[in-house]
Amino acid sequence: MPRTTPALSTLLPPLICGTATFNDQYNPDPYALPTTSIVHEALSLGVRAFDTSPYYGPAEDLLGAALDTCFVHQNFPRRDYFLLTKVGRISGEEFDYSESWVRHSVQRSLERLHTSYLDVVYCHDVEFVSPEEVLTAVEELRRIRDETGRVKYVGISGYPVTTLCELSEMILRETGEPLDIVMSYANFTLQNTRLASVALPRLEAAGVDVVPNASVLGMGLLRRKGVPIGARGDFHPSPQGLRAAIQAVSDWSSAQDIADNRIEKVAIRWALEKWMREGVAVGSKGDPASGIPWIREKIESYGGTKLGVSVMGVSNVEELEETMRVWRSILDGLEDGEKTALDAGRSVDDRTWSLQRQQQVTGLAEGIRKALGEWIDYAWLSPAPGFVNKRSAPAIPAPLPTPAASPDQVPKPALINGIPELRPRVPI
């Protein structure tokens, strides 16, 4: 079958706001986060795509509540932003890729997100199930796409890049249709660039249209204060040796006589900027969120036909605003970036600063990567040895716990048979 038209790469914005942080893996109480403020500010700053998953605890509910507000309805038509979610992963040790669960999960996401369609649906963490199960889920998502239009584009996500490549090749071989999108996480960072060196040629050859790079901090590994500890405790799969090496290079970076020298500052800018360029072949040309107000931008005017796509998660408005400052500075440093800066109300000095900062970050990154030595391109095992899928039979999930209300006063939806009742059901 031919690829869905128009190609996703002609539409998808190259900067996606991730919502894995709206979850107790990364934060002790996701309901205490200002999630509505984050989403509204992201839209106001030009972000036009949001990535989420049923596996991310209350993330779909929180994102949906933020979008189902007068502010969004009056200022941002649904056609102007993209919603990307996932199916298949239920919990840390439960996966269900059956046709019936895929249908149930899609329906539930439509209701939670207050939408009549989903722009992208991934099969979530495909390395935990068999290739046959992945093929079943992909074919069911495509059936929903073709028969109902409730799903627009279909892809897979996961950690091991070789598995993502093998499955992309298998799906093309078995169905004659390439995947629209394959998302990798923690595989194009200061520490690990296997997404570019190992996966990119194979994914291109398999016809994959878009490859977003997620988790540029390696699930929080590349932070001065170490991996995040949420309500679930220390979930990070990295070994102690790698953590110690990251701490050592973090201390080295902080000691350099350069502004903004913390490892997370260096890691974010380095990965966003490098993937924006190196991921062009599997990038996209949607709205780049350059800061030009109220204009549907075309990337051809700002440095190339496509930009490599990145997913960035934040836990507060300040982190979001800092991410946008970095992103726009990177755009200012592209070819013809001076025009971008001027059209967005910035100045020629902003482009000059961007190029200077690019040199600083490159120098720090080279020092960090050299010091990491044997840990460069190390990838932890996923799944861990001995993993067993504990899912035995499909079942309606239990309702989520409801801790203290969010500062944004997000209402908790009523539950019917364990499913939030947000919209009238639309058969899929």
CA distance 64 to 35: 10
Place of tokens 């074919």: 139
Range 321-324, long-range pairs (CB < 8 A, 24+ positions): 321/41, 321/45, 323/268, 324/45, 324/46, 324/47, 324/289, 324/291
- By CB atoms closer than 10 A (0-12, 13-18, 19+), residue 417 is exposed
CA angle 236, 239, 242 (to 5 degrees): 105
Question: What pLDDT was estimated at residue 303?
Answer: 44
Question: For every one of its 428 residues, what pLDDT tens digit does the chain have, with 9 covering 90 and above?
Answer: 667 889 999 999 999 999 999 998 888 999 999 999 999 999 999 999 999 999 999 999 999 999 999 999 999 999 999 999 999 999 999 999 999 999 999 999 999 999 999 999 999 999 999 999 999 999 999 999 999 999 999 999 999 999 999 999 999 999 999 999 999 999 999 999 999 999 999 999 999 999 999 999 999 999 999 998 888 889 999 999 999 999 999 999 999 999 899 999 999 999 999 999 999 999 999 999 999 865 555 555 544 479 999 999 999 999 999 999 999 999 999 988 998 899 999 999 999 999 999 999 999 999 999 999 999 999 999 999 999 999 865 555 555 554 444 455 444 444 333 433 333 344 46
Q: Tens digits of per-residue pLDDT, 411-424?
A: 444 433 343 333 33
Instruction: State the pairing for strand pair 89-91/94-95.
Output: antiparallel
CB 188, CB 195: distance < 8 Å: yes
CB 22, CB 33: distance < 8 Å: yes
Question: What pLDDT was estimated at residue 301?
Answer: 52
Question: What pLDDT was estimated at residue 230?
Answer: 83
DSSP, residue by residue, 347-361: -HHHHHHHHHHHHHH
Question: What pLDDT was estimated at residue 190?
Answer: 98
Sign of CA dihedral 380, 221, 94, 20: negative
Q: Look at the chain and count its residues.
A: 428
Contacting residues for 61 by C-beta, under 8 A, at least 6 apart? 112, 400, 410, 412, 413, 420
Instruction: Report how far apart, in Å, the C-alpha atoms of 421 and of each of 83, 285, 426 are.
Output: 19, 36, 12
Question: What pLDDT was estimated at residue 229?
Answer: 87
CA distance 292 to 341: 9
Q: Tens digits of per-residue pLDDT, 87-106?
A: 999 999 999 999 999 999 99
Question: What pLDDT was estimated at residue 38?
Answer: 98
Instruction: State the pairing for strand pair 419-420/415-416.
Output: antiparallel
- Cα 394–chain centre separation: 27
pTM of the model: 0.90
Question: What pLDDT was estimated at residue 422?
Answer: 37
Helix intervals (H) in 99-206: 99-112, 131-148, 161-175, 194, 200-205
CA angle 108, 111, 114 (to 5 degrees): 145
Question: What pLDDT was estimated at residue 309?
Answer: 98
Residue numbers annotated as active site: 56
Q: Tens digits of per-residue pLDDT, 239-276?
A: 999 999 999 999 999 999 998 999 999 999 999 999 99
Q: Is 286 helix (H, G, I), strand (E, B) or coil?
A: coil
| Count of other CB atoms within 10 angstroms of residue 405 | 12
CB 307, CB 398: distance < 8 Å: no
Rg (alpha carbons) of the chain, rounded to whole number: 21
Place of tokens 């996701």: 30
Question: What pLDDT was estimated at residue 413?
Answer: 41
Q: Is 95 helix (H, G, I), strand (E, B) or coil?
A: strand
